[in-house]
Structure 1
Amino acid sequence: MMRKVVLYIAQSLDGYIATKEDSLDWLFSVESEGDNGYGEFINGVDTILIGKRTYDWVMEQEKGEFPYKDKECFVFSRSVNEDTEYVKFIHPDIKAFTNHLKNGEGKSIWLIGGGDLLYTFLQENLIDEMIVTVAPRIIGEGIPLFKAGDYQFNLSLISTRTFNQFVELHYVVER
């Protein structure tokens, strides 16, 4: 059985994952319920894929303390970076690298983002499931969850959940 690549992400009702200034303040201002299912999700993951810009944002927010120390983490970067104790910086062929991971042993693989990396994963048809949590905010402009591109997918909704003001939509990508 192949491992799954799962996009697990939140967006505004109008489809943005961040403001154009990379802010998520709009997201954190919404009244939530517990951890909105994050704990359950993260327990089913042992590998994390993240873009360099998103990684830098996470490290800034976490004051340099890497939050996923118990996971194998790969940061996709166009430039050369030195690996850390918890992170391997890579710039390989994304499709070949991801398929290698999917064919290995382990739990699910979390594609965190950002938008450019997600776009490549969509173009290469590498995503197996999407868990998108919608926040009741309209921010008007920013970084879209889905960039315009030459890709189309049929999705099958397998569950919905609410966490106070948030709605989680869980889809499987039909093949």
Structure 2
Amino acid sequence: MNHGRKLYLYIATSLDGYIATLDDSLEWLFKVEGEGDNGYSEFFNTIDTVLMGRKTYDWIIKNDVGEFPYKNKPCYVFSKTLTGKNDHVEFINEDITSFTKRLKSTTGGNIWIVGGGELLHHFIKNYLVDEFIITIAPTIIGKGIPLFNELDTEVKLKLRNIRRFNQFVELHYELI
């Protein structure tokens, strides 16, 4: 059991378990009527570090209008090809598990894994995610990028909370 910083998955998914369409679109998500920001600001204020994969970073740079959304928090991007830092992120080329365990053992607040699917699979497989906050949209998109890939192991969770934001439902689990 980790007694340092906690790593959170905070993500939205379709009812059939996809985080995006095959062409990386999230349009289906924005068509659902929520309530305010569906708890995003509340969650965002609880974390002080952001982790993401290279594909997610590239998507943010390509599709996000305006300022980098995580500019006031340390942000690490796992990449096999990019190195160094820029104004907003530091690229990490080392072993994901070792880096994350070391980061979790340092002083600080909670850590958020923003995405993506491949990186999340690695985190889950290695029991690095401490809490899962999954918001489900009442939309079936049929095919796309799955929230969870096939695992060779069982991951046991305990339900902590359920909240409703108009048409969205948020499920909060912790690793046991």
TM-score by length of 1: 0.96
| Structure 1 portions without partners, runs of 5+ | none
Distance in 2 (alpha carbons) for counterparts of 1:64 and 1:119: 30
Name the counterpart of 2:72.
70
Contact 1:135–1:165 (Cα < 8 Å) also in 2? yes
Deviations 1:100-140 (A, max 9, x none): 11111111000111100001111211110000000000000
Distance in 2 (alpha carbons) for counterparts of 1:81 and 1:56: 14
**AA aligned opposite 1:31:** E
**AA aligned opposite 2:44:** I
List aligned pairs for 1:12-51, cutoff 5 A.
Answer: 12-51=14-53
Contact 1:132–1:169 (Cα < 8 Å) also in 2? yes
| Structure 2 portions without partners, runs of 5+ | none
Contact 1:59–1:65 (Cα < 8 Å) also in 2? no
Write out the 4+ residue segments of structure 1 that deviate beyond 3 Å after TM superposition: none
**AA aligned opposite 2:34:** S
2:107 pairs, out of 105, 108, 119, with: 105
Distance in 1 (alpha carbons) for counterparts of 2:153 and 2:79: 23
SS in 2 for 1:120: helix
Distance in 1 (alpha carbons) for counterparts of 2:101 and 2:84: 24
Q: CA deviation at 1:38?
A: 0.5
SS in 2 for 1:48: strand
1:122 pairs, out of 121, 124, 133, with: 124
> Given the alignment of the two structures, is residue 58 of structure 1 paired with residue 60 of structure 2, yes or no?
yes
TM-score by length of 2: 0.96
* Root mean square deviation, CA, Å: 1.1
For this pair of structures, how many residues does the alignment match? Answer: 174
Contact 1:122–1:151 (Cα < 8 Å) also in 2? no
